[in-house]
A and B are shown apart, each in its own frame.
Chain A
Amino acid sequence: MKGRGLHIYALVYLVFLYAPIVLLPLFAFNDGTTIAFPLQGFTLDWFRALVTTPALHEATLNSLIIAISTAVLSTCLGLFAARAATRYRFPAKPVIVGFIMLPLVLPEIIVAISLLVVMLQLGLSLSIWTIIAGHTLICVPFAIAILQGSFSNMDRSLEEASVDLGETPLTTFRLVTLPLVMPGIIASLLICFTISLDEFIIAFFLSGNEPTLPVYLWGQLRFPARLPVIMALGTILVGLSVGLLITAEFFRRRGLRRAGLPDSGGFL
Chain B
Amino acid sequence: MKQMKIFLIIVLSAIFASANIFAQQNNETPVALIKKIIKDVSYKQIDATDWEIAKTGDPLKNGEQVKTGFKSLALVLFTDGTGLLRVRENSIMYIYGDRDGKKLNKNTFIEKGLIGFDVNKQDIEEFKFTTPTAVAAIRGTAGYLEVGPDSSTTVVCDHGKIEVQSLIGEKKKVMVEGGFALSILPNGKLFKGEMSPNQKNKFGKTKKSKARKIFIETEEGTIELEFYPEED
Same complex for A and B? Answer: no
Q: Which residues of A contact B (CB under 8 A)?
A: none
Q: Which of B's residues lie within 8 Å of A, judged by CB?
A: none
